[in-house]
Structure 1
Amino acid sequence: MNDNPPPYQTDPRVDDYINALPEWQQDICRQVRDLIHAADPEIAETIKRTVRPYFVLQGNVCALLAAKDHVNVFLYDGAIVPDPEGIITAGHDNKTARTVAFREGETINAPALLAMFRQIIANNRAGGWRKLKNRPE
């Protein structure tokens, strides 16, 4: 366990969620958490839907959900953020969120995930994906 506090504001409820997971899932969640905070220093952490960690900035950016054999990162992008490296694993046709799933031993494509986080945040600041998606071309 890392004894150094992260360089960003954390929510103790998110800490509790992560700390209760198996070690390999904790590692994935912490890497994703570091990336989302690296994407923008104004990211805030919260808990929604009773126990699920959410990362928000002028709207949802992403959420974590640990399953038995993987960790899901739900990207709240309305399927409008480009995925040039093909990291999306589910929800390709979903109207609100797509998923990137990480299994034990897999490497996180940090540059691709960071780029997606930054684009979601930029879209949130521009009024959110719903507004952007409905904008006339």
Structure 2
Amino acid sequence: MSYQRDPRVDAYIDPLPEWQQAICHEVRELVHAADPEVVETIKRTVQPYFVLDGNICALLAAKTHVNVFLYDGGIVPDPEDIITGGHENKTGRTVAIHEGEKLNVPALLAMFEQIIANNRAGGWRKLKRES
């Protein structure tokens, strides 16, 4: 897949352990597959964010896992139960992927697509107010 890569995102991913690099690359490809207009950036000094009409997700490598923060206001369905944290969070939730775990690609792709659709419809805050 061809997309505009932000070299600062590469600078974040490249020094990580190989298994974390693989997860980050897979998530990166997946969020771009959800919509070719997704833009990469860095926020909070070093954290990779993927945005399109608002935040979609962010990556954070921790010692034992990689967190994928979903900026969905808790309104995107999770029928395959991949959310691992932030269930009560009002702005976002987390999918933690540990070494040796496989990413649930169809479920995460569906969530990215829904977050993008929600962003294009005015964002989850607006959608929550209207519901």
2:115 to 108, 120, 129: 120
1:82 aligns with 2:70: no
- Give TM-score, length-normalised by structure 1: 0.94
How far did 1:20 drift?
1.1
Q: How many residue pairs get matched?
A: 131
Match of 1:70 in 2: 65
**Matched residue SS, 2:33:** helix
* 1:10-63 alpha-carbon deviations (Å, 9 max, x no partner): 000000100010000000000000000000000000000000000000000000
1:29 to 21, 24, 27: 24
| Amino acid in the other structure paired with 2:50 | F
User: Percent identity over the alignment?
Assistant: 76
CA distance, structure 2, for counterparts of residue 109 and residue 117 of structure 1: 12
CA distance, structure 2, for counterparts of residue 20 and residue 11 of structure 1: 16
**Matched residue SS, 2:59:** strand
Unaligned runs of 5+ in 1: 1-5
2:126 to 108, 128, 131: 131
CA distance, structure 1, for counterparts of residue 26 and residue 127 of structure 2: 29
How far did 1:8 drift?
1.1
Match of 1:104 in 2: 99
1:15 to 10, 13, 19: 10
CA distance, structure 1, for counterparts of residue 2 and residue 54 of structure 2: 22
- Give TM-score, length-normalised by structure 2: 0.99
